[in-house]
Amino acid sequence: MSEKRKPSGFLLKQRAFLKLYLITLTEQERLYGLKLLDVLREEFQPFGYRPNHSEVYKALHDLIEEGILEQVKKKKEGMKYQEVVYYRFTEEGYKKAQLYKRQLKTELDRCEALIRKAIKDNFS
């Protein structure tokens, strides 16, 4: 009775989108959860997109389960006691991350094409 469902292939999901950004941000700079959320919200604010904290944490946890990232618990800079969770690539993780990014590039190109088609088909 419980079958797995095949997605119709509409636009990509928020979770995948966030995972892509989290990989790229990890390549650039080591940050922790809520700080990543801040950065993302600021980046997307002009685009009317405001992710919530749970989605970011779940995306990070997904990347851990896939063996791409691992946690590093550290004291927050300047704080004596506040411990926060930073992320870095695992041994195998960077290679896996590059593969994931290549897949997402294809997916983003597809979505862009779909949206451009809709603009063309409905507004020309």
Partner DNA sequence: GTATGAACAGCTTGTTCATGG
Partner DNA sequence: CCATGAACAAGCTGTTCATAC
Rounded Cα–Cα distance for residues 50 and 35 (Å) = 14
Single out the residue of 28, 48, 81, 121 in contact with DNA (rule: CB under 7 A): 81
Q: How far is CA 34 from CA 5, 29, 49, 75, 107, in A?
A: 33, 14, 16, 14, 27
Assess 14 for contact with a second copy (CB under 8 A): yes
Query: Binding to a second copy by residue 100, rule CB under 8 A?
Result: no
Binding partner at 3 among DNA, a second copy, none, C-beta below 5 to 8 Å by kind: DNA
DSSP code at position 77: T
34 binds a second copy (CB under 8 A): no
Among 43, 67, 72, 82, binds a second copy (CB under 8 A): 43
- Of residues 33 through 62, those in contact with DNA by CB under 7 A are 33-35, 51-55, 57-58, 60-61
Q: Which is nearer to DNA, 65 or 124 (CB)?
A: 65
- The string of DSSP codes covering 2-13 is -PPPPP---SPP
Residue 117 found at the interface with a second copy (CB under 8 A)? yes
For DNA, the binding residues in 94-123 under the rule CB under 7 A are: none
Q: Are 26 and 69 in contact (CB under 8 A)?
A: yes
**With contacts defined by CB under 7 A, how many residues of the chain interact with DNA?**
32
Which residues, 6+ apart, have CB-to-CB distance to 14 below 8 Å? Answer: 51, 55
If binding is defined by CB under 7 A, does position 78 make contact with DNA?
no
What single-letter DSSP state applies at residue 87?
E
